[in-house]
Amino acid sequence: MQTALTLEQYETMDPQRCVRDRGVEVIYATPNVATEWRVDTLFSKEPETIEWIAGFQADEVLIDVGANVGIYTIWAAKTRGVRVYAFEPESQNYAVLYKNIVLNQLSKQVVAYCAALTDEAGYSLLHLNQFQAGRSNHSYGEKVDYQLEYRDSEVSQGCVAATLDSLVKTGVVPMPDHIKIDVDGFEHKVLTGSASILADRHLRSVLIEINTNLEQHRKIVTDMRAYGFTYSEEQVARALRTEGPFSGIGNYVFSR
Protein backbone atom coordinates (compact mmCIF):
# COMPACT_ATOMS: atom_id res chain seq x y z
CA MET A 1 0.00 0.00 0.00
CA GLN A 2 1.41 3.38 -1.01
CA THR A 3 1.66 5.96 1.75
CA ALA A 4 0.64 9.51 0.93
CA LEU A 5 3.37 12.13 1.11
CA THR A 6 3.17 14.79 3.76
CA LEU A 7 3.38 18.42 2.68
CA GLU A 8 6.85 18.65 4.21
CA GLN A 9 8.00 15.58 2.25
CA TYR A 10 6.51 16.94 -0.97
CA GLU A 11 8.27 20.29 -0.52
CA THR A 12 11.65 18.53 -0.34
CA MET A 13 11.11 16.95 -3.76
CA ASP A 14 12.86 19.07 -6.35
CA PRO A 15 13.66 16.97 -9.44
CA GLN A 16 16.53 18.32 -11.52
CA ARG A 17 18.82 17.17 -14.30
CA CYS A 18 22.43 18.20 -14.74
CA VAL A 19 24.18 18.41 -18.12
CA ARG A 20 27.95 18.95 -18.30
CA ASP A 21 29.79 20.48 -21.21
CA ARG A 22 33.57 20.93 -21.18
CA GLY A 23 33.67 21.51 -17.46
CA VAL A 24 30.53 23.66 -17.34
CA GLU A 25 27.59 22.36 -15.31
CA VAL A 26 24.09 23.29 -16.49
CA ILE A 27 21.14 22.49 -14.22
CA TYR A 28 17.53 22.16 -15.36
CA ALA A 29 14.41 21.79 -13.24
CA THR A 30 12.39 18.77 -14.38
CA PRO A 31 9.06 18.87 -12.51
CA ASN A 32 7.33 16.56 -15.01
CA VAL A 33 7.87 14.20 -17.93
CA ALA A 34 7.60 16.98 -20.54
CA THR A 35 10.41 19.06 -19.03
CA GLU A 36 12.59 15.99 -18.51
CA TRP A 37 12.12 15.09 -22.17
CA ARG A 38 13.37 18.52 -23.21
CA VAL A 39 16.58 17.97 -21.25
CA ASP A 40 17.00 14.41 -22.55
CA THR A 41 16.72 15.67 -26.15
CA LEU A 42 18.91 18.76 -25.68
CA PHE A 43 21.47 17.57 -28.25
CA SER A 44 19.24 15.47 -30.51
CA LYS A 45 16.02 17.48 -30.98
CA GLU A 46 17.62 20.54 -32.58
CA PRO A 47 21.35 19.91 -33.09
CA GLU A 48 21.50 22.93 -35.39
CA THR A 49 20.49 25.16 -32.47
CA ILE A 50 23.29 23.81 -30.29
CA GLU A 51 25.75 24.29 -33.18
CA TRP A 52 24.50 27.86 -33.71
CA ILE A 53 24.89 28.73 -30.03
CA ALA A 54 28.43 27.32 -30.05
CA GLY A 55 29.44 30.21 -32.32
CA PHE A 56 28.41 32.93 -29.86
CA GLN A 57 30.97 35.15 -28.15
CA ALA A 58 30.97 36.16 -24.48
CA ASP A 59 28.91 39.28 -23.65
CA GLU A 60 26.96 39.17 -26.91
CA VAL A 61 23.20 39.60 -26.61
CA LEU A 62 20.72 36.85 -27.51
CA ILE A 63 16.98 37.44 -27.60
CA ASP A 64 15.05 34.18 -27.22
CA VAL A 65 11.47 34.56 -28.45
CA GLY A 66 9.31 31.65 -27.33
CA ALA A 67 11.79 30.41 -24.75
CA ASN A 68 9.53 27.72 -23.23
CA VAL A 69 11.26 26.53 -20.02
CA GLY A 70 14.56 28.04 -21.12
CA ILE A 71 16.47 25.02 -22.36
CA TYR A 72 18.43 27.07 -24.93
CA THR A 73 18.34 30.32 -22.94
CA ILE A 74 20.19 28.69 -20.07
CA TRP A 75 22.52 26.71 -22.32
CA ALA A 76 23.62 29.82 -24.22
CA ALA A 77 24.15 31.88 -21.09
CA LYS A 78 25.98 29.20 -19.14
CA THR A 79 28.17 27.69 -21.86
CA ARG A 80 28.90 30.79 -23.98
CA GLY A 81 28.69 33.64 -21.49
CA VAL A 82 26.15 35.61 -23.52
CA ARG A 83 23.51 37.90 -22.07
CA VAL A 84 19.99 36.66 -22.77
CA TYR A 85 16.59 38.35 -22.85
CA ALA A 86 13.96 35.63 -22.99
CA PHE A 87 10.25 35.93 -23.76
CA GLU A 88 7.78 33.22 -22.75
CA PRO A 89 4.09 34.10 -22.28
CA GLU A 90 2.79 30.77 -20.90
CA SER A 91 2.59 30.83 -17.10
CA GLN A 92 3.77 27.28 -16.32
CA ASN A 93 6.71 27.49 -18.71
CA TYR A 94 7.66 30.92 -17.38
CA ALA A 95 7.77 29.66 -13.80
CA VAL A 96 10.17 26.84 -14.71
CA LEU A 97 12.19 29.18 -16.93
CA TYR A 98 12.86 31.47 -13.98
CA LYS A 99 13.61 28.55 -11.71
CA ASN A 100 16.26 27.49 -14.21
CA ILE A 101 17.71 31.00 -14.17
CA VAL A 102 17.97 30.88 -10.38
CA LEU A 103 19.32 27.31 -10.25
CA ASN A 104 22.18 28.36 -12.52
CA GLN A 105 22.80 31.67 -10.70
CA LEU A 106 22.14 33.64 -13.87
CA SER A 107 19.82 36.35 -12.59
CA LYS A 108 22.40 39.06 -13.42
CA GLN A 109 22.97 37.67 -16.91
CA VAL A 110 19.50 36.52 -18.03
CA VAL A 111 16.25 38.48 -17.91
CA ALA A 112 12.96 36.78 -18.79
CA TYR A 113 9.61 38.40 -19.48
CA CYS A 114 6.22 36.68 -19.26
CA ALA A 115 5.10 38.26 -22.51
CA ALA A 116 4.53 37.50 -26.17
CA LEU A 117 6.36 39.23 -29.00
CA THR A 118 4.33 39.88 -32.13
CA ASP A 119 3.51 42.57 -34.71
CA GLU A 120 1.40 44.84 -32.50
CA ALA A 121 1.61 45.72 -28.81
CA GLY A 122 -1.47 45.10 -26.69
CA TYR A 123 -3.41 42.72 -24.51
CA SER A 124 -5.17 39.54 -25.59
CA LEU A 125 -5.52 35.88 -24.66
CA LEU A 126 -2.93 33.15 -24.97
CA HIS A 127 -4.81 30.02 -26.04
CA LEU A 128 -3.10 26.96 -24.60
CA ASN A 129 -2.50 23.61 -26.17
CA GLN A 130 -2.04 22.07 -22.72
CA PHE A 131 -1.81 23.59 -19.24
CA GLN A 132 1.47 21.97 -18.26
CA ALA A 133 5.09 23.05 -17.99
CA GLY A 134 7.20 22.05 -20.97
CA ARG A 135 4.34 22.04 -23.45
CA SER A 136 4.23 24.14 -26.59
CA ASN A 137 1.96 25.04 -29.53
CA HIS A 138 0.13 27.81 -27.72
CA SER A 139 -1.24 30.73 -29.74
CA TYR A 140 -1.52 34.42 -28.93
CA GLY A 141 -4.69 36.26 -29.95
CA GLU A 142 -6.12 33.55 -32.21
CA LYS A 143 -7.41 30.04 -31.60
CA VAL A 144 -5.19 28.31 -34.13
CA ASP A 145 -2.61 25.53 -34.16
CA TYR A 146 0.93 25.60 -35.58
CA GLN A 147 -0.53 25.18 -39.08
CA LEU A 148 -2.60 28.34 -38.45
CA GLU A 149 -5.78 26.26 -38.64
CA TYR A 150 -8.60 26.67 -36.15
CA ARG A 151 -8.14 24.84 -32.87
CA ASP A 152 -10.31 25.27 -29.80
CA SER A 153 -8.66 25.67 -26.43
CA GLU A 154 -9.99 24.65 -23.05
CA VAL A 155 -7.68 27.03 -21.18
CA SER A 156 -6.70 30.58 -22.11
CA GLN A 157 -4.52 32.99 -20.15
CA GLY A 158 -4.47 36.76 -20.15
CA CYS A 159 -1.39 37.89 -22.03
CA VAL A 160 0.50 41.09 -22.78
CA ALA A 161 2.37 41.49 -26.06
CA ALA A 162 4.97 43.86 -27.46
CA THR A 163 7.01 44.34 -30.60
CA LEU A 164 10.74 43.78 -30.44
CA ASP A 165 11.33 47.06 -32.26
CA SER A 166 9.56 49.01 -29.51
CA LEU A 167 11.45 47.22 -26.74
CA VAL A 168 14.82 48.02 -28.28
CA LYS A 169 13.83 51.59 -29.15
CA THR A 170 12.74 52.30 -25.57
CA GLY A 171 15.79 50.62 -24.04
CA VAL A 172 13.95 47.74 -22.39
CA VAL A 173 16.33 45.36 -24.14
CA PRO A 174 19.60 46.19 -25.96
CA MET A 175 20.20 45.74 -29.65
CA PRO A 176 20.76 42.00 -30.08
CA ASP A 177 23.60 40.20 -31.77
CA HIS A 178 21.46 37.08 -32.21
CA ILE A 179 17.73 36.29 -32.18
CA LYS A 180 16.01 32.94 -31.81
CA ILE A 181 12.32 32.74 -32.80
CA ASP A 182 10.16 29.70 -32.13
CA VAL A 183 6.51 30.59 -31.56
CA ASP A 184 4.69 27.73 -33.30
CA GLY A 185 3.23 29.44 -36.34
CA PHE A 186 3.43 33.18 -35.64
CA GLU A 187 7.10 33.66 -36.51
CA HIS A 188 6.17 35.98 -39.38
CA LYS A 189 4.39 38.31 -36.96
CA VAL A 190 7.43 38.48 -34.69
CA LEU A 191 9.54 39.46 -37.71
CA THR A 192 7.06 42.15 -38.77
CA GLY A 193 7.42 43.67 -35.32
CA SER A 194 11.22 43.52 -35.62
CA ALA A 195 11.72 45.26 -38.99
CA SER A 196 14.04 47.99 -37.71
CA ILE A 197 16.25 45.52 -35.86
CA LEU A 198 16.48 43.20 -38.88
CA ALA A 199 17.65 46.14 -40.98
CA ASP A 200 20.39 47.02 -38.49
CA ARG A 201 23.75 45.51 -39.46
CA HIS A 202 24.62 45.00 -35.79
CA LEU A 203 22.37 41.93 -35.84
CA ARG A 204 24.56 39.02 -36.87
CA SER A 205 22.23 36.01 -36.99
CA VAL A 206 18.65 34.87 -36.60
CA LEU A 207 17.44 31.32 -36.04
CA ILE A 208 13.79 30.91 -37.05
CA GLU A 209 11.56 27.87 -36.99
CA ILE A 210 9.88 27.91 -40.40
CA ASN A 211 6.88 25.90 -41.51
CA THR A 212 7.43 25.48 -45.24
CA ASN A 213 3.77 24.44 -45.61
CA LEU A 214 2.66 28.01 -44.89
CA GLU A 215 2.78 30.81 -47.45
CA GLN A 216 3.51 33.35 -44.70
CA HIS A 217 6.56 31.33 -43.68
CA ARG A 218 7.87 30.78 -47.18
CA LYS A 219 7.85 34.56 -47.54
CA ILE A 220 10.12 34.80 -44.48
CA VAL A 221 12.98 33.37 -46.54
CA THR A 222 12.52 36.03 -49.23
CA ASP A 223 12.27 38.80 -46.65
CA MET A 224 15.39 37.70 -44.79
CA ARG A 225 17.36 37.68 -48.03
CA ALA A 226 16.18 41.22 -48.67
CA TYR A 227 17.63 42.22 -45.30
CA GLY A 228 20.97 40.84 -46.43
CA PHE A 229 20.91 37.49 -44.65
CA THR A 230 21.98 34.18 -46.15
CA TYR A 231 21.42 30.60 -45.09
CA SER A 232 22.82 27.16 -45.86
CA GLU A 233 20.57 24.86 -47.87
CA GLU A 234 22.51 21.94 -46.41
CA GLN A 235 21.76 23.09 -42.86
CA VAL A 236 18.06 23.49 -43.68
CA ALA A 237 17.89 20.07 -45.32
CA ARG A 238 19.26 18.51 -42.14
CA ALA A 239 16.88 20.46 -39.91
CA LEU A 240 13.60 20.02 -41.80
CA ARG A 241 11.43 17.18 -40.51
CA THR A 242 10.42 14.81 -43.29
CA GLU A 243 7.68 12.77 -41.65
CA GLY A 244 4.99 12.93 -39.01
CA PRO A 245 2.69 15.85 -38.11
CA PHE A 246 5.59 18.34 -38.17
CA SER A 247 6.82 17.39 -41.63
CA GLY A 248 8.18 20.40 -43.48
CA ILE A 249 9.02 22.31 -40.31
CA GLY A 250 12.55 23.10 -39.18
CA ASN A 251 15.02 25.76 -38.15
CA TYR A 252 16.66 28.10 -40.65
CA VAL A 253 19.84 29.77 -39.46
CA PHE A 254 20.20 33.16 -41.17
CA SER A 255 23.48 35.05 -40.92
CA ARG A 256 25.34 37.97 -42.47
CB atoms within 10 A of CB 191: 25
3-state secondary structure of 86: strand
Residue 12's pLDDT is 78
pTM attached to this predicted model: 0.95
Q: Do residues 54 and 81 lie in contact, with contact meaning Cβ atoms separated by under 8 Å?
A: no
Q: Where are the domains of the chain?
A: 19-202
Residue 132 pLDDT grade (very low, low, confident, very high; cuts 50, 70, 90): very high
Residue 117 pLDDT grade (very low, low, confident, very high; cuts 50, 70, 90): very high
More confident residue, 183 or 23: 183
Q: Do residues 181 and 66 lie in contact, with contact meaning Cβ atoms separated by under 8 Å?
A: yes
For residue 130, what are the CA distances in angstroms to 40, 93, 152? 21, 11, 11
Q: Are strands 205-211 and 249-255 parallel, antiparallel or unpaired?
A: antiparallel
- How is domain 19-202 classified at the architecture level of CATH? 3-Layer(aba) Sandwich (3.40)
Average pLDDT over residues 99-105: 98
CA distance 56 to 66: 19
